[in-house]
């Protein structure tokens, strides 16, 4: 029997984690497992044992996230159904121009353009809701963030299928160039934000986080239309490794979390100058924003550490050494040390508030140079990512 303790406004369920899972939780997890098993057998000719391991690790991670964050279950179902519908409408690549649904909604380029439009509109709606104290507009901003994140994920999944339609030897996971990873950054950051929005029950920070996503969308659109980077090209030999499938996504969870922390830092600093005006509009208290900055930086630091280790292992396999002081590696170390120092001073010295908010904002510039600036201004073993 369930025992609940009511303390203040919060309800706590003292049952074990597994006991709190519903029938739908288990059915959803089993359905994902069956889909993973089917993919494992159906695509076996194109997968090695490491890629099978990555597939089942992805299943386990997705199930864990869905059990802890209930809205993620419906999100994964909708993305899977929409992606399968799109893939089934592809007799060949030319269908993207002749099929109504593919041409206007579900081809990789159509879905990514919808993602861009929604991510550009979301912060406008969020800020309108915040400044006008309009709950409907804030809920609309949340809906736009969900739709944009789903469109981005569908776009990359369909792009993966399209790469194989070009030719089997061209087929690869779409996280191999700046264009694709900017899409990855946008929807990953959106999903991480939505998780914290759900956990903290506040939409007031959506506009601030939406600004950094909109900035990445601006670059993505320039890269698409000016540089023609949306074309699917064969994968260069340096990236033909299963390591890429775990190293790159892990990195971008970290980048997204660091970006969210920076934008919460911006909101913190703005509220610090006019506390009464902004709290009346619904911004969280300084203590809540400080806690959110910490949790995002801690999340980003954990994933960045894992990504750096994975990158070192990949480098050892590809180049014969774990570390070569390549510019990307050097700036990754600088980024790691920056956030390690932030966390260290918080734990050991109890630093809070304005100094840490400024540090989080400055940290975003360090991350941006590591992510993009190195590719533009420096050359090295990672020079395949230049503009």
The residue among 227, 133, 211, 134 whose CA lies nearest residue 178 is: 227
Q: What is the DSSP string of 299-319?
A: HHHHHHHHHHHHHHHHHHHHH
- Tell me how far apart the alpha carbons of residues 246 and 171 are, in angstroms, rounded to a whole number: 17
The yes-or-no verdict on residue 100 having pLDDT over 60 is yes
Quick one: 123 exposed, middle or buried, by C-beta within 10 A (0-12, 13-18, 19+)?
buried
**Angle formed by the axes of helices 286-319 and 327-349, to 10°?**
150
Residues 353-363 have a mean pLDDT of: 95
In this prediction, residues 105-119 reach a mean pLDDT of 96
Percent with pLDDT over 70 in the chain: 94
Residues facing 4 on adjacent strands: 13
Share the mean pLDDT of the chain: 89
**288 contacts: CB under 8 Å, gap ≥ 6:** 200, 202
Structure-block tokens of residue 102: 């593919």
Q: Give the list of residues 6+ apart from residue 5 with CB closer than 8 angstroms, or none.
A: 11, 12, 14
User: What is the structure's pLDDT at 10?
Assistant: 45
Tokens of residue 170, six digits: 């061209």
Cα gap 115→187, rounded to integer Å = 8
How is the chain split into domains, by residue range?
70-235, 246-387
């Amino acid at each position: 029997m369930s025992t609940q303790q009511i303390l203040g406004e919060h309800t706590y369920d003292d049952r074990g984690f597994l006991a709190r899972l519903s029938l739908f939780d288990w059915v959803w997890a089993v359905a994902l497992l069956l889909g993973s098993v089917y993919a494992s057998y159906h695509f076996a000719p194109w997968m090695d044992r490491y890629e099978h391991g990555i597939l089942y690790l992805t299943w386990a991670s997705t199930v864990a996230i869905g059990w802890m964050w209930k809205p993620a279950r419906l999100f994964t179902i909708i993305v899977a159904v929409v992606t399968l519908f799109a893939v089934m409408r592809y007799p060949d690549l030319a269908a993207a121009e002749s099929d109504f649904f593919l041409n206007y909604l579900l081809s990789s380029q159509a879905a990514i353009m919808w993602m861009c439009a929604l991510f550009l509109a979301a912060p406008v709606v969020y800020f309108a809701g915040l400044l006008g104290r309009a709950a409907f507009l804030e809920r609309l901003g949340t809906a736009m963030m969900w739709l944009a994140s789903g469109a981005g994920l569908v776009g990359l999944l369909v792009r993966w299928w399209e790469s194989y339609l070009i030719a089997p030897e061209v087929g690869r996971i779409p996280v191999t160039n700046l264009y694709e990873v900017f899409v990855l950054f946008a929807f990953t950051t959106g999903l991480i934000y939505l998780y914290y929005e759900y956990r903290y029950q506040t939409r007031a920070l959506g506009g601030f986080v939406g600004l950094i996503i909109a900035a990445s969308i601006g670059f993505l659109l320039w890269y698409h239309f000016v540089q023609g980077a949306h074309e699917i090209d064969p994968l260069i030999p340096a990236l033909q490794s299963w390591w890429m499938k775990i190293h790159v996504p892990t990195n971008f969870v970290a980048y997204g979390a660091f970006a969210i922390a920076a934008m919460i830092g911006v909101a913190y600093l703005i509220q610090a100058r006019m506390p009464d005006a902004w709290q009346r509009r619904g911004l969280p208290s300084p203590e809540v924003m400080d806690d959110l900055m910490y949790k995002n930086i801690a999340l980003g630091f954990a994933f960045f550490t894992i990504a750096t280790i994975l990158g070192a292992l990949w480098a050892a396999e590809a180049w014969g050494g774990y570390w070569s002081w390549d510019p990307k590696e050097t700036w990754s170390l600088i980024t790691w040390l920056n956030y390690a120092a932030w966390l260290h001073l918080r734990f050991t010295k109890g630093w809070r508030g304005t100094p840490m908010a400024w540090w989080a904002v400055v940290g975003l510039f360090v991350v941006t140079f590591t992510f993009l600036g190195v590719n533009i201004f420096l050359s090295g073993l990672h020079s395949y990512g230049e503009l």
